[in-house]
Amino acid sequence: MVHSYSCATFFTLFTLTFSSFTSAFTSQHYSDALTKSILFFEGQRSGKLPANQRLSWRADSALNDGSSANVDLVGGYYDAGDNVKFGLPMAFTTTMLAWSIIEFGDNMKSELGNAKDALRWSSDYLMKAATATPGTLYVQVGEPYSDHHCWERPEDMDTPRNVYKVSAQNPGSDVAAETAAALAAASIVFQDSDSSYSHKLLQTAKSVFDLADKYRGSYSDSLGSVVCPFYCSYSGYNDELLWGAAWIHKASQDASYLSYIQSNGHVMGSDDDDFSFSWDDKRAATKVLLAKGFIVNNIGELQAYKQHSDNYICSLIPGSPNSQAQYTPGGLFYKQGQSNLQYVTTSSFLLLTYGKYLDSNGGHASCGSSMVTSETLITQAKKQIDYILGDNPMKMSYMVGFGDKYPTRIHHRGSSVPSVHDHPDRISCDAGHQYFNSQSPNPNILVGAIVGGPDSNDNYGDDRGNYSESEPATYINAPFVGAAAFFSGH
């Protein structure tokens, strides 16, 4: 007891010291970061761009997507620096954009509309993908190998736009359940502003979930080299099934999904986390989402998820008895070398969201025998977000267009090849490589893009060829939108 009490005191002091003396950024800075983090999604748009498109160096692209299967799959997002539309990361991005708005939309002020537009750009696409052919979910447009072999603007793209799907015969429970999660989460966002759209989203979420659950299998097995090793479902599909059920339950309050969670929850043990909440692994986030049902809504059946979430959250807090996460010398959460900032934005989002849930009824997380308050969770998340924005050993922001120093040679085809507005002539697959190999900064600023980030020693080379550090991705930004909104309002 004495030990636990001194730990709690330590955390309190730590929080106070940090927030009074080391605020690198003001709420103005976080508002700016929020604006830019949403603007980034316009640069990733596929399809016909609307008249109010603000990232003006982009133009229409992939206007015939789906035609090879006689369906309309125009729209959605390119996942990162290439021109493939990958369903699993797109659905995950959609879920996280929706969750960002659900938790922190109240802090978004004038950006709320832009955030909802960014969400709708992909929820519209996922609706097409889920309803174009009954019993089928389209999960990809484009050929990763031929696409990656070229360095082409999306507007010039001429590689095959083959269409891939999952169905009863070719199951893909992972991608289908994530799509169900995305549609259900989006239905919550649009409940008040567009109830008929919200209703369609939820109905479609349920039918896609049925497909995922009735015909079990991984899309990695059904689609093989089309999705692996790019967005292979390494964690399997159990995590997405529970995550999908949790989102549909949250959106619908339908008790059958709660029963489903109760009968299937055992597939997620309590100590199997490896801090890798991402487009692939949903376990940590499912625990946090379900814990809300207990903490905020008093659903007794979900009590166990409070402890599961505490364990996960405690593991992220340096100095906590259960601390397990790795940090760079400069203090950045470090999971792995490839696109590490995706784990930073997802875990920061969970810290803030769990902190909010705890706060709503005066609770705390139990870390071993000590208590951790929501203030500590917020402090930890703030360190990570501030690091991304420039409070780091390189003294640079890892968000393009934010601050004075930021990545200039990001691994992104559209950003690095001249805009079609400046250079209307076609730039072919091979001709684009001169821009890839150039030492010059990218001509088009992909405002708001957060890149993969620095290495385990806080070094960053600003090297276009090094995609692990210099490639942005929609799923890095989506949770950041919520975190930036939180700090802009505090």
Residue numbers of the site for ligand NAG (CB under 6 A)?
454-455, 459-461, 466, 468-469
Our CB check for ligand NAG shows the closer of 395 and 426 to be 395
Annotation marks residue 310 as catalytic: no
Our CB check for ligand NAG shows the closer of 274 and 458 to be 458
Our CB check for ligand NAG shows the closer of 95 and 328 to be 328
- Token reading at 467: 């995609």
Catalytic residue among 155, 213, 469, 471: 471
* Shortest Å distance, C-beta 353 to ligand NAG: 29
Annotation marks residue 143 as catalytic: no
* Shortest Å distance, C-beta 451 to ligand NAG: 10
* Shortest Å distance, C-beta 470 to ligand NAG: 8
Residue 380: count of CB within 10 angstroms of its CB: 27
Torsion of CA 435, 438, 444, 445, to 10 degrees: 140
Please give the sequence-ordered ranges of beta strands (E in DSSP) within 183-318, or none if there are none.
none
**DSSP reduced 3-state for 9:** helix
* Shortest Å distance, C-beta 384 to ligand NAG: 18
Residues 6+ positions from 49 with CB-CB distance below 8 Å: 58, 59, 60
Residue 98, phi then psi, degrees to nearest 5: -65, -45
Angle at 487 between CA 406 and CA 479, to 5 degrees: 70
Distance CA 438, CA 151 (A): 12
* Shortest Å distance, C-beta 456 to ligand NAG: 8
* Shortest Å distance, C-beta 472 to ligand NAG: 15
Our CB check for ligand NAG shows the closer of 123 and 384 to be 384
For 7, 92, 182, 275, 406, the CA distances from 105, given in Å and listed in that order, are 34, 18, 17, 26, 27
Torsion of CA 276, 278, 260, 176, to 10 degrees: -150
Annotation marks residue 411 as catalytic: yes
Distance CA 344, CA 153 (A): 29
Catalytic residue among 254, 455, 462, 463: 462
Residue 2: count of CB within 10 angstroms of its CB: 7
Our CB check for ligand NAG shows the closer of 143 and 462 to be 462
Distance CA 204, CA 295 (A): 29
Our CB check for ligand NAG shows the closer of 81 and 454 to be 454
Catalytic residue among 249, 308, 364, 411: 411
Give me the active site residues, please.
Answer: 411, 462, 471
